[in-house]
Structure 1
Amino acid sequence: MRTTSRMLCASGLLAAAMAAPAAATATTPSLPEAAPLQLEWDARLRHEQVDDDAFSRDAAATTLRLRLGLRASFGEGWSALLEGAGVAAANEHYNSGANGRTQYPAITDPHGSELNQAWLAWQGDVFGATLGRQRLLLDNHRWVGNSGWRQHEQTYDAVALQWMPLDSVTVRYDWLDRVHRVAGRDALNPLARERKLDTHLLNAAWVRGAQQWVGYAYLHEDRDVATASSATWGARWSGKALRDGNGPGWTLEAARQRDYANNPQRFAHHYWLLEPTWTQDGVTAKLGWEHLGGNGQHALQTPLATLHAFNGWDDQFNVTPAGGLEDRYVGAAGKFGRSGLAGKLAWAVAYHDYRADRGGRYGSEWNASLSLPLLAGLDAMLKLADYRADGFGRDNARVWLQLEWRGQQALAGAR
Structure 2
Amino acid sequence: MNTTRKLLPIACLLAATAAPAARASADNPSATPASAPLQLEWDARLRHEQVDDDAYSRDARADTLRLRLGLRANFGSGWSGLLEGAGVASAGEHYNSGANGRTQYPAITDPHGGELNQAWLGWRNDTFGATLGRQRLLLDNERWVGNVGWRQYEQTYDALSLQWQPLSTLNVRYAWLDRVHRVAGPDALSPPARERRLDTHLFHLAWTQGAQQWTGYAYLHEDRDVASASTATWGVRWSGNALSDGNGPGWTLEAARQDDYANNPLHFSHDYWLLEPAWTQAGLTAKLGWEHLGGNGRHALQTPLATLHAFNGWDDQFTVTPPGGIEDRYASIAGKLGRDGFAGKLGWVVAWHDYRADRGGRYGSEWNASLSFPLAAGLSGLVKLADYHADGFGHDSAKVWLQLEWKGRQALADAR
Give the TM-score of the pair, scaled to structure 2. 0.98
The Cα shift of 1:124 comes to 1.2
- The answer for the alignment partner of 1:72 in structure 2 is 73
Answer yes or no: is 1:227 the counterpart of 2:234.
Answer: no
AA paired with 1:2? N
Residue identity matched to 1:208: Q
Superposed CA offset, 1:268-325 (max 9, x none): 0000000010001000000000000000000000000000000000000000000000
Cα-Cα RMSD? 1.2
| SS of equivalent to 2:67 | strand
Q: Deviations over 1:368-388 (max 9, x none)?
A: 000001100000000000000
- Equivalent pair of 1:245/1:281 in contact (CA under 8 Å): no
Q: Does 2:208 correspond to 1:207?
A: yes
Task: Return the letter of the residue paired with 1:408.
Answer: R
- Give the residue type in structure 1 aligned to 2:25: T
- Asked whether the 8 Å contact 1:26–1:374 carries over to 2, the reply is no
The 1:4–1:274 alpha-carbon spacing in structure 2 relative to 1, beyond 3 Å, is: closer
Aligned residue in 2 for 1:169: 170
Quote the residue 1:310 is aligned against. Answer: 311
- In structure 1, C-alpha distance between the alignment counterparts of 2:183 and 2:271, rounded to whole Å: 27
Residue in structure 2 matched with residue 20 of structure 1 by the alignment? 20
**Relative to structure 1, is the Cα distance of residues 88 and 9 closer, same or farther in structure 2, using a 3 angstrom cutoff?**
farther
Q: CA deviation at 1:33?
A: 3.0
Residues 326-383 of structure 1: CA distance to partner in whole angstroms, max 9, x if unpaired? 0000000000111122111111000000000012000000000000011000000000
Is this contact kept in 2: 1:28–1:377, CA < 8 A? yes
Match in the other structure for 1:266: 267
| Equivalent residue number for residue 101 of structure 1 | 102
Amino acid at match of 1:23: R
C-alpha distance after superposition, 1:102-121 (max 9, x if no partner): 11000000000000000000
CA contact (8 A) 2:380 2:404 kept: yes
What are structure 2's unaligned runs of at least 5 residues? none
1:48 maps to 2:49: yes
- Partner Cα distance (1:98, 1:236) in 2: 38
Secondary structure in structure 2 of the residue aligned to 1:18: helix
Secondary structure at the counterpart of residue 15 of structure 2: helix
1:291 is matched with: 292
Aligned residue in 2 for 1:387: 388
CA distance in 1, matches of 2:370, 2:340: 20
Instruction: Give 3-state SS (helix, strand or coil) of 1:302's partner.
Output: coil
C-alpha spacing 1:95/1:204, structure 2 compared with 1 (3 Å): same
* Partner SS for 1:248: strand
Inter-partner Cα distance in structure 1 for 2:25 and 2:141: 25
Moved more, 265-274 or 29-38: 29-38
**TM-score, structure 1 as length reference:** 0.98
- % same residue: 78
Equivalent residue number for residue 280 of structure 1: 281
- Distance in 1 separating the partners of 2:248 and 2:26: 27
* Alpha-carbon shift at residue 245 of structure 1 (Å): 4.9
Alignment partners' CA distance in 2, 1:59 and 1:76: 51
Letter in 2 for 1:322: P
The structural deviation recorded for 1:12 is 4.1
- Contact persistence 1:59–1:93 (CA under 8 A): yes
How big is the shift at 1:17? Answer: 3.7
Name whichever of 194-203 and 14-23 sits farther off: 14-23
Question: Which segment is superposed worse, 241-250 or 105-114?
Answer: 241-250
Partner amino acid, structure 2, of 1:354:
Y
| C-alpha displacement of 1:4 | 4.0
Query: Residue type of the partner of 2:101?
Result: G
Greater CA deviation, 318-327 or 240-249? Answer: 240-249
Please name the residue that 2:146 is paired with: 145
Tell whether 2:11 aligns with 1:11.
yes
